[in-house]
Structure formats: structure tokens, C-alpha cells
Structure 1
């Protein structure tokens, strides 16, 4: 099945997968990006669980107080997750699957016109 959920996803990642694949007909490359999103969600969940109850400030290599490396990792993975979601180019309204397809088609058309010079030209 094309939209079968990847194995071993956590609860939040499963919910995201089900929500998006239930609302949009994704191509294979988009499903791969969505899977990466879900894996990032799971990783963030694990890092946040480790951080719960841990010190936010730890001792650095020179004995100085520094932010816990988990804080930095969580921030970096959240940034990665945001970039992955942006790469999917889903419309903000989850009910707009038709609009997403139209936007993709329009983007592809503009790219082709730019590449092949078939768009409207000034003075023409």
C-alpha cells in the first residue's frame, strides 16, 4: 500500500503520518520526506524525555557552567523538522489537498517556462 505507515513510529509521529497521508495524496519522494519528519519527531520526543528532570546547565570542559548539550540537540532537531515540513510544501489548511496539487502544478509550470523561455516576454 502506497501510504502504509513506516514501522516503529511513536504515537505523535504516527498521528502526524496518519493526518497528512489521510489528507494528501503524496508522491514517493514526499512520503520519504514525511517519514524523515516522523523520525525527527520521534528523536525529539526521546531527547525531551532525557532532558526531563535533568539539569539545564551542566559543567563545561573548563569547569564553567554551560547549557546542557540536550538543549542544543533538541533545538537543532526542531530546526531540521521545520525544514523537512517546509520541503513538503503542504498548504496551511490541511483540507486543501486540491490547492496543494494546484500550487505544485503551477510551480512546475513556472519553472518550465523559466527554463525554456515559454513565458510571456516584455514587449511581446
Structure 2
């Protein structure tokens, strides 16, 4: 992070996301760390997208390894965003809270 707390090395979309989220919400240190990882992952996804666009989805008849990595990073991105628990709209200024743990599933209903 630089002097202002803005992470260095972010791409344009990730920088915009950082600025919007930190302007709108008062985040704790752990939430800023999560947001930074979200933004870094977004930057990496943008780089991978550019490479796949330039190289194509296949290389020598095989799936482009960068495309495979992008798929994995999208999964990580979705999990990081979910962990950050930002509200879905502007009407609720509080982060979403998860309540309880979902119980195990059983075939044939509860016993």
C-alpha cells in the first residue's frame, strides 16, 4: 500500500472498485485486507483476459493454460467477494451478516 492506504499495482477496474468501496464504507483492517485481495485478483483476471484474447482459447490444439487459471481465479474472486459481505444495494449501509451454520443434509428428510 502507498501512503494514502491505496494498494499499489492495481489495474484500472480494481482501482475504481477500491476507491468506490472505501469511499462508501468504513472498513476495518481485516475488511481492507479482503478488499485488497479482491482488487488484486480482479487485476490479475484482467491481465489473464488480455492474454487469452491475444493468444486465443486454444494453443496447439489444447486449452490455453491462462484460461484455466482464469477459471480458478474467478472462483477465488467470488469467494473473496462473498467473504467481504458488502451490502447488495445502497439501502442497507451495514455489511451482510451470516447467521449460524447450515446443518448437514440427509436423504429421506430429518429423523
Please give the TM-score of this superposition, normalised by the length of structure 1: 0.69
TM-aligned CA deviation for residue 54 of structure 1: 1.1
Post-superposition, which runs of at least 4 consecutive aligned residues in structure 1 deviate over 3 A? none
Report the RMSD for the aligned CA atoms in angstroms.
2.2
Note the alpha carbon deviations across 1:29-50, whole angstroms, 9 max, x for none: 0100000011101111111111
What corresponds to 2:107 in structure 1? Answer: none
Aligned length: 98
Q: Alignment partner of 2:54: what SS?
A: coil
Instruction: Report the Cα distance in structure 1 between the residues aligned to 2:43 and 2:67, rounded to whole angstroms.
Output: 16
What corresponds to 2:32 in structure 1? Answer: 31
TM-aligned CA deviation for residue 10 of structure 1: 1.4
Question: Radius of gyration: which is bigger?
Answer: 1
Higher helix share: 1
Instruction: List runs of 5+ in structure 2 lacking aligned partners.
Output: 102-111
Instruction: List runs of 5+ in structure 1 lacking aligned partners.
Output: 60-64, 112-124
TM-aligned CA deviation for residue 95 of structure 1: 4.9
